[in-house]
Copies of this chain bind each other. A is one copy, B any other.
Amino acid sequence: MEAKAGRPRDKETERRILEVTVRLLAEEGYSRMSIDGVAAAAGVSKPTIYRRWSGKADLATAAICTIRLAEPEISTGSTVGDLTAALQNFSRSLLRPNGMALVGTVLAEEGHTPELLALFRERLVMPRRAIIRGILERARRHRELRSGVNLDAAVSMLVGAFYARYLATSKVPSRFAQTVVATVWTGICKPS
């Protein structure tokens, strides 16, 4: 039982394949994305891909698995400031080229490849919500919130406003985060 029998698998190759897959998944969408295309763009042959993943769905899910939300630490000193900063980060990622396309493709494939949506939730949706929920929970601990506020609903409103806005115009003004936070905050903060 040696540590490494045979030719070692090239870690760099694997990374490149997944990177390319994430890109094509966003650019082309799941069903347009082809293994041929991934292989060509990654500079490997198709069996190199099939040796690692059992098929297209498996590759796509693995690719989504590699995505990790990389958000900077937020600490502005105030709840409103933190929420605004978090949503501005979100806004930026949404407005990146194909920023919404990946969201679209996992939703579109829900009926055919539900793993995509499941993983997308686990890797991207939930972590982002957790950040925002964390800010709200801290505010609650600091007794800034009125009683009975539903934090999950608040998170959905804050984040969702951007989805809805994008769906309406593809353009999100830079002050949008402030406006949204202000409104929601008025709705959930303890009345003065």
Interface of A toward B, CB cutoff 8 Å: 6, 27-32, 45, 98, 100-101, 103-112, 117, 121, 125-126, 129, 149-150, 152-165, 167-170, 176, 179-180, 182-188, 191
Contacts and interface: CB of A to CB of B under 8 A. Distances in A.
A39 B180 CA distance: 46
B187 A185 contact: yes
- Among A107, A158, A165, A184, max chain B CB count under 10 A is at A107
Contacts of A160: 156-157, 159-165
Contact of A154 (B45, B126, B183): B183
15 contacts: A28-B112, A29-B112, A31-B31, A32-B112, A101-B110, A103-B107, A104-B108, A107-B108, A108-B108, A153-B183, A154-B183, A156-B168, A159-B164, A163-B163, A183-B188
Nearest to A155: B164
Contacts of A185: 187
A153 B163 contact: no
Nearest to A108: B104
Contacts of A29: 29, 31, 108-109, 112
